[in-house]
Amino acid sequence: MGLLRAALIASCALSAPALVLAQSSSPFSGLFGGGSESDGPVKLDINVAGDNDALARQVRNTSLISAALSEGRNTGQDVLAAARADYARILGLMYDEGYYSAIVNITLDGAEAAEIAPLDAPATITNAVVTLDPGPRFTFSRAAIDPVAPETELPDGYAVGETGGTGTIKSAALAGVDGWRNYGHAKADVGGQNIVADHNQNTIDSQIALEPGPVVTFGKLNITGYDRMDPRRLRKIAGFPEGTRYDPEEIEDVRKRLRRSGVFSAITLEESAVLGPDGSMDVNLTVVEQKPRRIGAGFEISNNDGAMVSAYWMHRNLLGGGERLRIDGEVSDISSDTSGLDGEFTLRLDRPATITADTTAYFETTAARMREEDYDSDSGTVAFGLNHIFSDRLTADIAILYGKSRVTDANGESDYEVVALPMNVEWDMRDEPTDAKRGYWLSADLVPFAGLQDTGSGAHVLGEGRAYYSFGEDDRFTLAGRARLGSVIGPDIEETPREFLFYSGGGGSVRGQPYESLGVEVIQGPDGPIRTGGMSLANATAELRYQVRERIGLVAFADFGQVWTEGSFQGDSGNHAGAGVGVRYKTPIGPLRFDIAGPVSGETGNGVQVYLGLGQAF
């Protein structure tokens, strides 16, 4: 039997040649030739006994030789240094996977790398060969850990008969410590361990002793590093739970709140090493404030709808309490074939940590000018609202809004005026919001509104769901789907503000069809029916995404839209569809999107539509 000490750190025993001290046969060998550059390619072969392809891939991913070659570091000195370090790395991998009798050989042009002194590195190396005999895989004859906190979830692999790798042992120890920390024992640790490998039986006897320590409460939050930020507001934003029982999730919540504020570029939370006499533990917070001002811009281009450009200016800490002022401007339908120039201006002020640490109060005002094919509209809104973050996945928003608009169409001018109570709930289970491969996203909007003057009263309802599923090697294929349903309930269409009506067509709904090309013709004008948006809407989109390379992807998609003349999906309706293909190029700020689409059904458009923008379509 062999005794493996400190099993929580993968120790590696090397064969005798690997322990030879670095030495040179000549005192001048390091000055001539050994460090010279070489542009020649190096071939790396990895041979694993038993043709274990999965293990071979793991070795390649672990190998520093492989990493050096992928980065273009292929001099003799680079390859030799990587090879000598690879003995320990590969043996560490073998221990993690439960192979304790592994034999590793690494040859460089036929010579064992461990026998080549660093100062005798050849100028060039042509062939590097890693040969691995993993030997038998060890299993647990005992997998003990004690004491364990209630509701602790240990790894399934830490059990008698399962593979006895050091990786599993480390995971079990960490899970045991985390279990006690989650139970309020902030200073829980591993008190002792006894790990024995039996090379005759190919088994591992693992015993881990945990020391829970005392139950801990949160002490004071000590803050340093702030400059323009009011420390009282900083504490309010952090929402530190002083005096409550220790919970590591609370520490993470503090970090998230500070990050969400956008004020800080760096946030460090450090638990005090020493407990107070009452069992309390202080936490030290160090922050670094970002530059307060920021600007940004965006764009989208369609050959039919024209171009859209947007820009914003933002101040992250306007009054010293984390207040965020953002001013947005957008101009759209530039050179559009179907409408005039549209513009929108928005000013929004957010105040975090209002009422609770997870509630943001905001004031927002907008002014918009729309010059559409069938009508012109000038509108403005003022809103006061609250946004609450229940969790990383669930958010809700409620506001009180006053809006007024003037619409000019074939019937002349019409004024609309409403007081509304917009509400929104979002549930986000996507793995990556800007380029999701798995999960789903749900959103529900309810806007009860009371009309003033001749404007009708009712409710505007809109729901949307998105789902993602990836498959194939490295999840290269992704199926993505989106469905949207909306309706205006209560007023007649003539009494409904135009911004509450639904159109279909364009980049946000049905690609391949012109922007807002599908509406309804219910309102009568002097020369016949006037086209407006409908009272109900249904949209559906399906995409198949394929990741060709790390940065390049291809997309095929089909979109559908239907609009009804009445609320609750009643009355006459029309529909249309479009389909196309696209290319995605990954950038640090999201995928660059280029789509080409055409109409499949309906009578609202013809020809090819081209779309260029930033981010996935949804």
Express each pLDDT in 301-314 by its tens digit.
877 678 889 999 99
Domain that holds residue 273: 217-289
The CATH number that applies at residue 420 is 2.40.160.50
Same domain, 57 and 34: yes
DSSP one-letter code for 119 = G
Collapsing DSSP to helix, strand or coil, 175 comes out as helix
What is the C-alpha to C-alpha distance for residues 44 and 220, in angstroms, rounded to an integer? 55
Which pLDDT value is given to residue 8?
27
What is the C-alpha to C-alpha distance for residues 127 and 43, in angstroms, rounded to an integer? 5
Same domain, 302 and 387: yes
Helix (H) or strand (E) segment spanning residue 141: strand 139-146
Q: Under a CB-based contact definition with an 8 Å cutoff, are residues 236 and 247 in contact?
A: no
Residue labelled with tokens 């069992």:
279
Same domain, 398 and 416: yes
DSSP code per residue over 524-592? EETTEEEEE-BSEEEEEEEEEEEE-SSSEEEEEEEEEEEEEEEGGGEEEEEEEEEEEEEEEEEETTEEE
For residue 261, count CB atoms less than 10 angstroms from its CB and return exposed for 0-12, middle for 13-18, buried for 19 or more.
buried
Mean pLDDT by 10 residues, the chain (618 residues): 31 30 32 37 92 92 94 92 96 96 95 92 93 96 96 95 96 97 96 94 97 97 95 97 96 96 96 95 97 90 81 96 97 82 96 97 97 88 98 97 93 93 98 92 98 95 98 94 98 94 93 92 88 96 95 96 96 96 90 94 88 88
Which pLDDT value is given to residue 481?
98
Tell me the two tokens of residue 227.
Answer: 């400059």
Q: Under a CB-based contact definition with an 8 Å cutoff, are residues 102 and 91 in contact?
A: yes
Q: Of the candidates 262, 289, 316, which is a domain's last residue?
A: 289
Same domain, 454 and 516: yes
Same domain, 179 and 323: no
Please tell me the pTM assigned to this model: 0.79
Which pLDDT value is given to residue 515?
86
Q: Of the candidates 289, 322, 338, which is a domain's last residue?
A: 289
DSSP code per residue over 594-607? EEEEEEEESSS--S
What is the C-alpha to C-alpha distance for residues 346 and 381, in angstroms, rounded to an integer? 9
Which pLDDT value is given to residue 37?
37
**What is the β-pairing status of strands 590-601 and 570-587?**
antiparallel
Number of domains in the chain: 4
Residue labelled with tokens 């991913």:
61
The CATH number that applies at residue 165 is 3.10.20.310
Tell me the two tokens of residue 469.
Answer: 């599923």
Which pLDDT value is given to residue 441?
98
Which pLDDT value is given to residue 526?
84
Q: Which contacts (CB < 8 Å, 24+ apart) does range 341-345 have?
A: 341/371, 342/368, 342/369, 342/370, 342/371, 342/372, 343/368, 343/369, 344/368, 344/369
**What is the β-pairing status of strands 127-133 and 43-48?**
parallel
DSSP one-letter code for 355 = S
β-bridge mates for residue 553, sequence order = 547, 584
Tens digit of each residue's pLDDT (9 = 90 or more) over 546-565: 999 989 999 999 999 999 99
Same domain, 461 and 473: yes
Same domain, 82 and 34: yes
Same domain, 72 and 180: no
Which pLDDT value is given to residue 525?
84
Same domain, 245 and 276: yes
Contact residues for 330 (Cβ-Cβ < 8 A; gap 6+): 308, 309, 310, 311, 343, 344, 345
Same domain, 277 and 347: no
List alpha helices for 71-165, DSSP H: 76-96
Same domain, 181 and 284: no
Same domain, 372 and 447: yes
Tell me the two tokens of residue 381.
Answer: 């809104």
DSSP code per residue over 287-352? EEEPPSEEEEEEEEEETTTEEEEEEEEEES-SSSSS-EEEEEEEEEEET-SSS--EEEEEEEEEES
Q: Of the candidates 101, 133, 165, which is a domain's last residue?
A: 133
Tell me the two tokens of residue 84.
Answer: 């000598």
